[in-house]
């Protein structure tokens, strides 16, 4: 069994009002 090394980073996923992922906002968040 291997151990996890390093840092894990959580990222907030933006959603639209209908519950689908807002890919335009997600792209801006990643940039």
pLDDT at 2: 77
pLDDT at 31: 87
- Whether this prediction's pTM lies above 0.85 is answered by no
Residues with Cβ within 8 Å of residue 21, at least 6 apart in sequence: 13, 14, 15
Kindly state the average pLDDT of the residues 16-29: 97
pLDDT at 17: 98
Per-residue model confidence as pLDDT tens digits over 1-22: 778 889 888 899 999 999 999 9
pLDDT at 16: 98
Kindly state the average pLDDT of the residues 21-28: 97
């Amino acid at each position: 069994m291997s151990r996890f090394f390093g840092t894990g980073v959580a990222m907030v996923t933006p959603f639209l009002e209908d519950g689908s992922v807002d890919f335009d906002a997600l792209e801006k968040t990643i940039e």
